[in-house]
Amino acid sequence: MRQSRTRAALVVAAATTLSAAGVCAAQPAAADAGFHPAVRNLTLGPGYSWGVGDGAAGTPDGTVVYAFSKTPLTDASWSGGGMPAGLTASAGRYGCTVYAGAPGVFACPVTSDNPLDEPEVAAGVSAANGTTAYVGIAYAPHGSSVAAAVKAAQLAGTTSDPQNPTAAVIKVITPAQAARSSVTLSTPDVPLSSSLVQTVHVHAEDPGHLRVNFERTRDERPFDMDELDIEVQSVDGGPGSSCDHTLGSIGSGGDTVRCDLPAGDHTVTYTLASGPAVAAWKINAHADFEVVNHGTGNPGAESTFAVSSPYPVRDRYRLFARDAKGLLRYYDGTGRAAAPYGERWDLGDGWQQYTALSSLGPVTVHSTGDVVARDKSGVLWHFKGSANGSLFAPRAKVGGGWNTYNTLVGSADVSGDGRSDLVARDSAGVLWLYRGTGDGAALFAPRTRIGGGWNTYTALTAPGDLTGDGRADLLGRDASGVLWLYKGTGNAAAPYASRTKIGGGWNTYTALTGTGDLTSDGRADLVARDSAGVLWLYKGTGNAAAPYAPRTRIGGGWNAYNTLF
pTM for the model stands at 0.78
Distance (Å) of CA 549 to CA 12, 308, 508: 56, 33, 17
Q: How far apart are CA 43 and CA 534, in angstroms?
A: 59
DSSP string, 36-98: EEEE--EEE-TT-EEE-EEEEES---EEEEEEEESS-TT-TT-TTBS--TTEEEE--TTS-EE
Distance (Å) of CA 514 to CA 7, 125, 309, 461: 51, 57, 29, 6
pLDDT band for position 115 (cuts 50, 70, 90): confident
Q: pLDDT tens for residues 227-269?
A: 899 999 999 988 887 899 998 899 887 779 999 999 999 999 9
Q: How far apart are CA 454 and CA 474, in angstroms?
A: 12
pLDDT band for position 92 (cuts 50, 70, 90): low
What's the mean pLDDT in 202-212?
A: 97
Per-residue pLDDT, 373 = 98
Average pLDDT in the chain: 90
Beta-ladder partners of 423: 409, 433
Task: Select the more confidently predicted residue: 31 or 457.
Answer: 457
Range with lowest mean pLDDT among 270-274, 436-440, 484-488: 436-440
DSSP string, 315-327: P-BEEEEEETTS-
Instruction: Determine the residue type at 20.
Output: A
Assess contact for 82 and 70: CB atoms under 8 A: yes
pLDDT band for position 388 (cuts 50, 70, 90): low
Which of the 8 DSSP states describes residue 337?
Answer: T
pLDDT band for position 164 (cuts 50, 70, 90): confident
pLDDT band for position 1 (cuts 50, 70, 90): very low
Per-residue pLDDT, 3 = 39
Give buried/exposed letters for 126-146 (b at 16+ CB in 10 A, else e): ebebebebbbbbbbbbbebbb
Q: How far apart are CA 145 and CA 48, in angstroms?
A: 34
Residue 68: pLDDT over 50: yes
SS3 547: coil
Assess contact for 382 and 396: CB atoms under 8 A: yes
pLDDT band for position 22 (cuts 50, 70, 90): very low
Task: Select the more confidently predicted residue: 122 or 15.
Answer: 122
Q: pLDDT tens for residues 483-518?
A: 999 999 999 999 999 999 999 999 999 999 999 999
